Structure 1
Amino acid sequence: MKKVYIIHENTEWTMHLTKRLDELQVPYEEWHLDQGSLDLTKEPPEGIFYNRMSASSHTRGHRFAPEFAGQVLAWLEAHGRKVFNGTRALSLEISKVLQYLELNKHGVKTPKTVAAVGKSQILEAASEFKGQAFITKHNRAGKGLGVQLFQSIDALRKYVEGPEFEEPVDGITLIQEYIQSPESFITRCEFVGSQFVYAVKVDTSEGFQLCPADACQIGDLFCPVGEEVEEKPKFQIIDGFSDPIIEKYQQVLAANKIQVAGIEFIRNIEGEIFTYDINTNTNYNSDAEMKAGRFGMLELAKFLKEELEK
């Protein structure tokens, strides 16, 4: 029997999808790739394959899960299996440098960014911003890893040379211009089957770590999304969102064979859009979805069901 095969390393982020697949009576099997083996003499099973491997896997003790997933995805593609968010999507998931290059290629503006390896190189790269505020972040990140705001190189030096410095898992730190927004929020656009589903407004007043997953809200110390208050929820789905940037995002996704993604942007004081993240392991916030009556995982389950039946 053909199935949907879900490739991932974090059950807490996948159970919401499997629940929807159960509701739609879609046969599926999970491949948890934090460890395993791959026999290259064998052929993959029949079915469709959906990759949910995360760049932040190392924060859950799954250091080499993306590397192993990359080999499994290449094996599936070599045998002609239908893979959603395959090897190219995984390459972008684990590298913001690649994300920015692809966004720029399609006319999408990104913040000025310098990639650096080594503490002295990080400090040297910060001099490019000539007295402006800047942030640091990890190239291979997820969940806001390594995101810090600095007003000066002296402040950065204290951080980089101090005990709080976070070494990126791939060694690459990004130094990026800080986009001053008139309001403390960013916008995240969700796509399923490369089609726009909805946009969500995310409050950033409590920091930059913006993972919308419900699991992050209860137990993930690496992803403190804050407590939601009735008057000002952290996540709000925007009714009737429309902007020309959506078409450009779809071009980026199509060019990189990405079917499922959440893309984040911020507007500056002049209203210009700066895009800074493509998340191919996208999650959804249940409270925001309940209020809006829109359900990302249900749309994803329907998409996978339709593809399996083709």
Structure 2
Amino acid sequence: MTDLAILYEHPQWFAPLFAALDRRGVDYTAFGADGHWNPADSAIPAPVVLNRIAMSSFLRADEHPIFHTIALLDHWRRSGARVVNGPDVMAIDASKARQLALIASLGLAIPETRIVHRAADVEAAAATLAFPLVVKANIGGSGAGIMRFDNMAELRWAVNEGELPKSVDGVLLVQDYVPARGGEITRIETLDRQYLYAIDIAGGGAFDLCPADACVADSNISMRAAEPSSDLVDAAERIAAAMNLDVGGVEVMIDDRDGLPRFYDINALSNFVAQPLNVLGWDPHERLIDWLDTLIAETR
């Protein structure tokens, strides 16, 4: 048995992580969630399991592994594995509605939002908000499943024609469109519930802001290292602690209308920023591996 098992789905995002693990001589194995497993078999693939299944996996395969992985990680955890970003974390990662409810419960501002599970309820939900607004899929990823509407006529047409976004769990968010100050959002990355680094990202219209290499190769997204205020860092750490997030990013934008920071997304898949040495001046994979080494040592 190896010391570390990595469950992943995207074919390119984790090449930098695997390369860093190889340089450090970590004993690991990496594999996808396809195939089958036996719920009566208590064998685990490694004492420490790192979950790297992306919510955007449904964009790459109709038979996506999201819900399958939540059950599998829960099984491995019950069998004794230390699962990094385990099933409880993944269940919140797989629900923007749950993310927003968690954030709001901490007294932090979010975009004004209504949650529905029927297209027939979208118009009534929108009537409680102002235009422009957006309709989002509850399970998204890389900006998937987001549409902006500038008036009720546009929205009503989309409802009647079946043109609303589709979420693989059937849940939709009807949400105030927040004009992000400077067209930027800030992604605050955390490790073991503590601040790791932050980047400002622009060019995605707050719809498609994935910082991984594979996402930005053919896009107009730009990013730079950021130094968020202590209040924003504290808020991100509180969110990570409340979610029990081992490693992941919290996204916030400054509402240009009133200057209020509005937290709107938690991403448990930290594939880290593209070209970290150029953007940050250091490689966060090294810090992640340091922490994984600590977890591995604790299991021995």
On whether the aligned pair clears a TM of 0.5, the verdict is yes
CA contact (8 A) 2:135 2:164 kept: no
Partner letter of residue 17 of structure 2?
L
Q: Is 1:227 paired with 2:214?
A: no
Q: Which residue of 1 aligns with 2:151?
A: 152
Q: For residues 214 and 125 of structure 1, do their structure 2 counterparts lie closer, same or farther at Cα, with a shift above 3 Å needed?
A: same
Q: For residues 58 and 142 of structure 1, do their structure 2 counterparts lie closer, same or farther at Cα, with a shift above 3 Å needed?
A: same
Matches within 5 A, 1:1-310: 1-61=1-61, 63-129=63-129, 131-162=130-161, 164-204=163-203, 208-218=207-217, 226-227=219-220, 234-238=222-226, 240-269=227-256, 270-287=258-275, 289-310=277-298
> How far off is 1:226 after superposition?
1.8
Q: How many residues in Structure 1 have an aligned counterpart in Structure 2? A: 297
Instruction: Name structure 1 gaps, 5 residues minimum.
Output: 219-224, 229-233
**CA distance, structure 2, for counterparts of residue 291 and residue 256 of structure 1:** 28
CA contact (8 A) 2:144 2:207 kept: no
**CA distance, structure 1, for counterparts of residue 14 and residue 279 of structure 2:** 22
> How far off is 1:247 after superposition?
1.9
Partner letter of residue 79 of structure 1?
S
The higher-RCO structure (CA 8 Å, 6+ apart) is: 1
CA contact (8 A) 1:123 1:157 kept: yes
Q: Secondary structure at the match of 2:197?
A: strand
Moved more, 276-285 or 241-250: 241-250
RMSD: 2.1
**CA distance, structure 2, for counterparts of residue 34 and residue 123 of structure 1:** 39
CA contact (8 A) 1:140 1:169 kept: yes
**CA distance, structure 1, for counterparts of residue 280 and residue 12 of structure 2:** 23
Partner letter of residue 271 of structure 2?
N
> How far off is 1:302 after superposition?
2.4
> How far off is 1:207 after superposition?
5.9
Question: What is the percent sequence identity of the aligned residues?
Answer: 25
What TM-score comes out, normalization by structure 1 length? 0.88
What TM-score comes out, normalization by structure 2 length? 0.91
**CA distance, structure 2, for counterparts of residue 124 and residue 297 of structure 1:** 46
> How far off is 1:46 after superposition?
4.2
**CA distance, structure 2, for counterparts of residue 30 and residue 43 of structure 1:** 16
